[in-house]
Amino acid sequence: MSRRGDYRLDVDRKPRAEGNQAPSPTSTSTALIVHPMSLFAQSPTSPLYGCGSPEWLRRAIEFQRQEVKQQWEEQRSQLDQDPAQKSPTRQALSLLDYTCEENVRTILSFLDGVSLCAASRVCRFFHAVSDDDSYWLHLCQAEWAISPDQLRERPASYQALYKFACQSLKRLIREFFEEQCLVSMQTSFRIPRDAALTIARRTFVAP
């Protein structure tokens, strides 16, 4: 800190040894924690790159971009040297490689039940993270007003309870429309109830 009130971090400054103090694991680190999307910006004019930001921040972002690029090139060179390590399911580096599991869990906590089910099919990592029962307990409480205190016994999983509630709602809606169709056909066409019920059931096929 060069001046009072100046909290900028000098990324080029080297740490000074103070007496016989044991070195801290972070005492020699000058890396900054920046937004992950800033690492993938293409030009200094991009808003993600930090246009209008202080020069020290732009240098720090550029430094981390070079580290990411170097890591990617090292992995590519290793695969080129040893083709046996190549796998058809191997994917290139993505944003998930540079974020932590807590961030992914926070993002998934904002999804509704349908979106969370879709996210669980993206990859094994998402499937494992979305299997957390706390998500489904929150969805049961928010969408179906189901509280654990209302249940006689705890279900095998709240995910199964949520899916059972969805299936029950679909069945209830189907039976309601079947009855409405049945009454309408009996009134309009004056056909027997059994025949009208058969037509109604064929009209509303179970999902």
Note the pLDDT tens digit of each residue in 103-147. Answer: 888 888 888 888 888 888 888 888 888 888 888 888 888 887 877
Q: Quote the pLDDT of residue 28.
A: 44
Give pTM, 2 decimals.
0.41
Name the pLDDT band for 91 (thresholds 50, 70, 90): low
Report which of residues 147 and 160 the model is more confident about: 160
The Cβ of residue 88 has, within 10 Å, a number of other Cβ atoms equal to 4
pLDDT over 70 at 34, yes or no: no
Enter the DSSP assignment of 156: S
Measured CA to CA, the distance from residue 77 to residue 71 in angstroms comes to 10
The SS3 assignment for 12 reads coil
Mean pLDDT in residue range 189-203? 72
Report which of residues 60 and 87 the model is more confident about: 60
Of all residues in the chain, what percent carry a pLDDT higher than 90? 0
Residues 6+ apart with CB under 8 A from 64: 31, 32, 34, 38, 39
Q: Quote the pLDDT of residue 100.
A: 76
* Helix or strand (DSSP H, E) at 128: helix 124-130
Measured CA to CA, the distance from residue 56 to residue 42 in angstroms comes to 18
Report which of residues 102 and 3 the model is more confident about: 102
Phi, psi angles (nearest 5°) of residue 77 = -65, -35
